[in-house]
């Protein structure tokens, strides 16, 4: 009697420059906080979600179905507490290379019969990319180490020969921690600056194009969002291109009901370098009706956060236009 997964359209971006895809096929990026199994069952208190819908042996197939429906070239996940026993082996057989970085003190470890710490995972399709460098970062705030992490993977696209740097992170949750999130964002931006300028002459035009996926746990009004949108890296949030004015984030990327009440917010983002990459399409945000009266997670959607997905392609390099 399970309802179907909500159907989501792939919306073509209007400001897309027409170009031949023969030698420049788009790169599909997925960002998703999949909800740690231990937190969903043991900590979150999703009072309108039946416990049955959180059963790992069924929920894992809904997560995999969402991933395999879209077959992203790069997959960025948060709250992964089943990397070694589920995602790594299954995705490896499907042609992905992965890397996992647990949080230093995962709250999953406080839950009885947990499956280990949760953390960030980054997968890329081996047939599309060769790996160049991997950085596993523990984020700092005002020089002090924090409980949040990031993975930064530098790749080389086998089709175009172009370099690409992809990062995944999950910033500190909850209200009252805005300044910590902002400091974590500043630390991540600094690391990204140094990683993307490595191996180049440090002229801004020769830095590696960047994609940063994350559950920032911050609304667009927060400091950390401003830091990312105004950084010297020149990043733009891909999902703003879905809005009618082209500058507004979606109304929500997570929607849940806890004992404290209903919480609907925009916390998840895909940042990219518009000088080097263009967004061709974005996966639409499901409507309130599709999400349903009990919100998320549910029998038909396995996480309290929505997956975000876009197709990006490399812009022509200036010297190639000559």
Binding site for ligand NDP (CB under 6 A): 33, 39, 43-44, 79, 103, 105, 107, 109-110, 147, 172-174, 215, 217, 258
Q: Hey, what are 222's tokens?
A: 């927060």
Cβ nearer to ligand NDP, comparing 198 with 258 = 258
217 close to 172: Cβ distance less than 8 angstroms: yes
In whole angstroms, how close is the CB of 257 to ligand NDP at the nearest point?
A: 11
Other CB atoms closer than 10 Å to residue 219's CB: what's the count?
14
Q: Name beta bridge partners: 282.
A: 11, 310
Angle at 155 between CA 169 and CA 144, to 5 degrees: 30
Cβ nearer to ligand NDP, comparing 165 with 212 = 212
In whole angstroms, how close is the CB of 28 to ligand NDP at the nearest point?
A: 24
On the question of a cis peptide bond just before residue 192, with omega within 30 degrees of 0, the verdict is no
Rg from Cα positions in the chain: 19
On the question of a cis peptide bond just before residue 297, with omega within 30 degrees of 0, the verdict is yes
Cβ nearer to ligand NDP, comparing 160 with 263 = 263
In whole angstroms, how close is the CB of 47 to ligand NDP at the nearest point?
A: 11
From residue 13, give the alpha-carbon distance in Å to each of 31, 69, 248, 276, 289: 18, 21, 14, 16, 24
Cβ nearer to ligand NDP, comparing 61 with 105 = 105
In whole angstroms, how close is the CB of 274 to ligand NDP at the nearest point?
A: 27
In whole angstroms, how close is the CB of 112 to ligand NDP at the nearest point?
A: 13
Cβ nearer to ligand NDP, comparing 22 with 174 = 174
In whole angstroms, how close is the CB of 273 to ligand NDP at the nearest point?
A: 25
Contacts with 124 (C-beta within 8 Å, 6 or more apart), sequence order: 73, 74, 75, 96, 97, 131, 153, 155, 166
Distance of alpha carbon 232 from alpha carbon 211, whole angstroms: 14
Cβ nearer to ligand NDP, comparing 146 with 281 = 146
């Amino acid at each position: 009697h399970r309802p179907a997964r909500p159907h989501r359209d792939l919306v073509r971006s209007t400001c897309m420059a027409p170009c031949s895809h023969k030698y420049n096929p788009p790169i599909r990026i997925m960002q998703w906080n999949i909800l740690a199994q231990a937190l969903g069952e043991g900590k979150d208190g999703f009072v309108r979600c039946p416990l049955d819908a959180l059963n790992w042996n069924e929920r894992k197939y809904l997560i995999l179905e969402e991933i395999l429906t879209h077959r992203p070239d790069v997959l960025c996940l948060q709250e992964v507490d089943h990397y070694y026993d589920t995602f790594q082996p299954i995705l490896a057989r499907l042609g992905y290379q992965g890397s996992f970085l647990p949080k230093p003190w995962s709250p999953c470890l406080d839950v009885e019969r947990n499956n280990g710490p949760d953390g960030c995972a980054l997968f890329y399709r081996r047939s599309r990319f060769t790996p160049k460098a991997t950085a596993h970062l523990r984020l700092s705030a005002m020089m002090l180490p924090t409980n949040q992490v990031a993975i930064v993977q530098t790749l080389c696209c086998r089709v175009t020969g172009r370099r690409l740097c992809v990062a995944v992170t999950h910033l500190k949750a909850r209200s009252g921690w805005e300044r910590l999130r902002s400091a974590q964002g500043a630390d991540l931006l600094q690391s990204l600056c140094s990683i993307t300028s490595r191996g180049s002459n440090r002229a801004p035009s020769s830095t590696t194009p960047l994609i940063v996926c994350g559950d920032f746990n911050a609304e667009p009004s927060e400091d950390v969002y401003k830091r990312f949108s105004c950084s010297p890296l020149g990043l733009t949030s891909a999902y703003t291109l879905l809005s009618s004015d082209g500058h507004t984030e979606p109304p929500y990327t997570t929607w849940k009901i806890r004992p404290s009440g209903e919480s609907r917010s925009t916390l998840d983002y895909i940042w990219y370098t518009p000088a080097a990459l263009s967004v061709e399409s974005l996966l639409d945000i499901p409507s309130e009706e599709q999400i349903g009266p009990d919100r998320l997670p549910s029998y038909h959607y396995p996480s309290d956060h929505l997956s975000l997905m876009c197709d990006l392609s490399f812009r022509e390099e200036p010297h190639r236009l000559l």
